[in-house]
């Protein structure tokens, strides 16, 4: 009698990693007018990651790769941990077009879901093929890649690594992703493809300027199996007050895998940040990135930066919490976590 196949496991971000994927901004993207201003922020991210593990750095073409190779050493980057590859891309938001990793019998496998520029808001044909181009260049070693047919963005999902998933109704159930899919359809995919047993569908929570339709990685994140850090707002005059209060009330109703209420750790909303046209930007401390031995937290030259760093340090007492200036990055409506995708241990050597 044949033994049943092992169920997949969607590992938490705090699981040991082999690498993080990052795409460097290039002149063919929306960064073109801000390249000189934003490249130092990207260099700071690469330096922090490369001090601890491998960075897979996606460059647009050979000319772009040579520029990046010359640029990074000026920022004290451990270049021995930087692997550069060439792949045309529309933009740099790898979290949403990079591969998700699952483990089956402890063996990693990559899943590359479709990406349509957050419901067709932006061109994404090149982004949708980046994972394939990386695989063709052996960036993932011998790790297999499966190319899925449905649309799914990494920033819309957050897991505790033990079969529980946080996501938002507004994004996944919107008409511009997979309009024929219901909650039941998604949960079937999450079960079969990711090994997810419980899905928490968050209804409330929205940041002005976030054009992802409410990605969970801007709102609430697992820090361990019993702790959720979430964006909060105590100012009743702020336009986010009501929706973030309602999200908090939803989170209060959730229970961990031991049927205990989660420890909820508030992350204060930064003071309002605006672009040159006067549009409010989605500054979020929930958009942090966990790497080996550290947590990289976006900061915004804001009085609440210190509070967010302190609160997240309480969630990750065994890791170094490092602030990364991201004020220039949110000018393009995303932040640090949106730019990156981790690859768990075993994906590459």
> Hey, which residues are catalytic here?
338
- Please say whether the beta carbons of 110 and 131 come within 8 A: yes
**Helix segments in 202-259, DSSP class H:** 241-252
- As a whole number of angstroms, the distance between CA 115 and CA 93 comes to 11
- As a whole number of angstroms, the distance between CA 230 and CA 268 comes to 9
- CA dihedral sign of residues 69, 71, 73, 78: negative
- Please say whether the beta carbons of 171 and 177 come within 8 A: yes
- As a whole number of angstroms, the distance between CA 121 and CA 202 comes to 23
**Helix segments in the chain, DSSP class H:** 35-50, 62-71, 94-97, 117-120, 130-136, 169-172, 183-194, 241-252, 305-315
- Give the number of C-alpha atoms closer than 13 A to the C-alpha of residue 319, restricted to the C-beta side: 26
- As a whole number of angstroms, the distance between CA 312 and CA 308 comes to 6
- Give the number of C-alpha atoms closer than 13 A to the C-alpha of residue 292, restricted to the C-beta side: 15
- As a whole number of angstroms, the distance between CA 200 and CA 159 comes to 10
Task: Name which of 81, 107, 87 is nearest 6 in CA terms.
Answer: 107
User: Could you tell me the two tokens for 119?
Assistant: 């419901």
């Amino acid at each position: 009698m044949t033994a049943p196949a092992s169920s997949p496991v969607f590992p938490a971000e705090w699981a040991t990693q082999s690498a993080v994927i990052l795409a460097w901004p290039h002149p063919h993207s929306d960064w073109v007018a801000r390249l000189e201003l934003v490249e130092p922020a990207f260099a700071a991210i690469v330096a922090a990651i490369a001090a601890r593990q491998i960075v897979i750095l996606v460059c647009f073409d050979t000319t772009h790769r040579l520029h990046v190779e010359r640029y990074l050493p000026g920022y004290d980057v451990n270049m021995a941990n930087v692997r550069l590859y060439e792949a045309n891309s529309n933009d740099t938001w790898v979290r949403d077009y990079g591969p998700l990793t699952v483990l089956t019998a402890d063996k990693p496998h990559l899943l590359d879901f479709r990406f349509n520029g957050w419901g067709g808001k932006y061109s994404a044909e090149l982004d949708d093929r980046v994972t394939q181009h990386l695989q063709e260049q052996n960036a993932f070693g011998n790790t297999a890649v499966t190319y899925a047919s449905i649309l799914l963005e990494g920033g819309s999902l957050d897991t505790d690594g033990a079969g529980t998933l946080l996501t938002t109704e507004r994004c996944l159930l919107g008409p511009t992703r997979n309009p024929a899919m219901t909650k039941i359809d998604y949960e079937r995919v999450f079960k079969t493809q990711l090994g997810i047993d419980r899905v928490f569908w968050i209804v409330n929570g929205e940041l002005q300027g976030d054009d992802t339709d409410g990605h969970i990685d801007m709102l609430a994140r697992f820090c361990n199996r019993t702790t959720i850090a979430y964006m909060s707002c105590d100012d009743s005059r702020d336009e986010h007050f009501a929706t973030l209060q309602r999200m908090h009330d939803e989170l209060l109703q959730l229970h961990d895998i031991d049927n205990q209420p989660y420890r909820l750790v508030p992350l204060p909303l930064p003071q309002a940040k605006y672009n040159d046209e006067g549009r409010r930007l989605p500054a979020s401390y929930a958009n942090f990135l966990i790497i080996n031995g550290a947590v990289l937290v976006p900061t915004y030259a804001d009085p609440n930066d210190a509070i967010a760093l302190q609160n997240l340090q309480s969630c990750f007492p065994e890791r170094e919490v490092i602030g990364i200036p991201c004020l220039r990055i949110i000018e393009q409506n995303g932040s640090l976590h949106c730019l990156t995708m981790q690859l768990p241990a075993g994906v590459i050597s």
